[in-house]
């Protein structure tokens, strides 16, 4: 079994607490589903948010999905002037038998524009 990193991102329409939580739940759930992960395979998840998102910690959404025992951390992305606004990102570290080439990185909503090369 190998340790792999899985990237993901989504974009919200507004800095609204419920929208941030809903979009993060969707992102986390989609990463888990597309990569065939079970709860015990998730080592940790690092969440980032663009500086314009301050209404809630994205990690709360993962806790609401039952990941209270998974190490979760939130940080703010650097404020690059031409960056896509209102974006939530994650990097999940997982244990999996999948080769790196079979990892499904997940880019949802407007965040597809960030990585069209690997967005599913």
Give the residue ranges of the annotated binding site.
7, 89, 107
100 catalytic? Reply is: no
33 catalytic? Reply is: no
115 catalytic? Reply is: yes
107 catalytic? Reply is: yes
- From the list 22, 26, 74, 95, the catalytic residue is 74
- pLDDT for residue 119 is more than 60: no
Give the residue ranges of the annotated binding site for prephenate.
7, 89, 107
pLDDT tens digits, 43-52: 999 999 999 9
Whether the Cβ atoms of residue 70 and residue 42 lie closer than 8 Å to each other: yes
pLDDT tens digits, 12-43: 999 999 999 999 999 999 999 999 999 999 99
CB-neighbour burial class of residue 33 (10 A; exposed 0-12, middle 13-18, buried 19+): exposed
pLDDT tens digits, 64-85: 999 999 999 999 999 999 999 9
- pTM to 2 decimals? 0.94
Identify the pLDDT of residue 71.
99
- From the list 7, 25, 34, 98, the catalytic residue is 7
Reading the block at residue 117, the tokens are 């090369």
Identify the pLDDT of residue 110.
86
**Assigned superfamily of 2-114:** RutC-like (3.30.1330.40)
- From the list 19, 22, 26, 77, the catalytic residue is 77
Rounded to an integer, the average pLDDT of 84-110 is 96
77 catalytic? Reply is: yes
Identify the pLDDT of residue 114.
79
- At 120, is the pLDDT very low, low, confident or very high (cuts 50, 70, 90)? low
40 vs 57: CA distance, rounded Å: 23
């Amino acid at each position: 079994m190998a340790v792999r990193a899985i990237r993901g991102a989504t974009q919200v329409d507004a800095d609204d607490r419920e929208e941030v939580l809903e979009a993060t739940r969707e992102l986390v759930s989609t990463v888990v589903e597309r990569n065939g992960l079970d709860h015990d395979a998730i080592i940790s998840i690092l969440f980032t948010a663009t500086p314009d998102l301050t209404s809630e910690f994205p990690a709360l959404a993962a806790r609401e999905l039952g990941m209270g025992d998974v190490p979760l951390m939130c940080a703010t992305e650097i404020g690059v002037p031409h960056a896509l606004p209102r974006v939530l990102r994650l990097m999940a570290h997982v244990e999996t038998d999948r080769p790196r080439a079979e990892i499904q990185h997940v880019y949802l909503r407007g965040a597809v524009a960030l990585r069209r090369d690997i967005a599913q």
